[in-house]
Every structure is written in C-alpha cells, then in structure tokens.
Amino acid sequence: MGNMFQAVVELIPGAEGGSLPSWGERRANDRTLADIQASVRARGSKLRVRAEVVDISTDGCRIKATDYSTGDDVLIALAHLAPIAGRVCWVRDGAAGVKFGTRLHPSVVSHLATL
C-alpha cells in the first residue's frame, strides 16, 4: 500500500519528498487579496446577501458568508460587472470558496482587486 501511495504522490506536481502539496499549492491560479463588497444570491432565489470578497482569481473567489452550502449555485454581483455565475466548492470558518462558471480575464481580476 505504501508503494502505491508513493507512486500516486510522485505524479502530483509539487509533491517532491513524498508529501502532498497544500490546498493553495494545488490551486491552478494564484488568488489576489481583495476587499470587494458583493451581492450574492443563490440561483433561483430573489434574496440577495451582502458579502465581502476577500480574495479572487480568474477561476473563483473566497467570500465571507455563512448562508451557503457546498454545491450551491450562486450569482455574485461585483462592482459594475454583470453577475458572475459560480458554485460553492467549500464552506468553513465563516467563509465560502466559489468556483466561477466562466473564467475572468486576468485584467478584470487586477481591476477588481484595486477597488
């Protein structure tokens, strides 16, 4: 069993030395710290919840929110952009990770991070 685990670990980029990379090291795109006020609502609901986006990337963001569960489809309204569709991937410690349905352009992420 140990050899099989080692073989799998060796296939994972960044797993030198036989240890799995942390969640952040496995992330496809770097997150940029942010302080963006957003309006978030579950898809199909009319209830909008204010949330703070604390980091963002082209693929997703982390919001301070406790109203959502893993797997929830959400729409996030940021600044002057059209609402962005996404899915909640994780929830813990008063925050939720959202994966966007469509990637944002890197220049959009840079702009949002300056707001």
Q: Return per-residue pLDDT of the chain as tens, 115 residues.
A: 444 444 444 554 444 555 544 444 455 668 889 999 999 999 888 899 999 999 999 999 999 988 899 999 999 999 888 999 999 999 999 999 999 999 999 999 999 988 8
Tell me the C-alpha distance between 96 and 92, whole Å: 6
Please give the structure tokens belonging to residue 30: 């770097």
Q: Are residues 86 and 70 in the same domain?
A: yes
Q: Are residues 47 and 79 in the same domain?
A: yes
Q: Are residues 53 and 108 in the same domain?
A: yes
pTM of the model: 0.73
Q: Are residues 3 and 54 in the same domain?
A: no
Please give the residue range of the domain that contains residue 12. Answer: 1-27
Nearest to 61 by CA among 80, 82, 33: 33
Q: Are residues 23 and 36 in the same domain?
A: no
As a whole number of Å, the CA-based R_g of the chain is 16
Backbone φ and ψ of 6, nearest 5°: -60, -40
Q: What's the pLDDT at 17?
A: 52
Total domains, the chain = 2
Q: Are residues 51 and 107 in the same domain?
A: yes
Place of tokens 């963002």: 56
Q: How many C-beta neighbours within 10 Å does residue 20 have?
A: 13
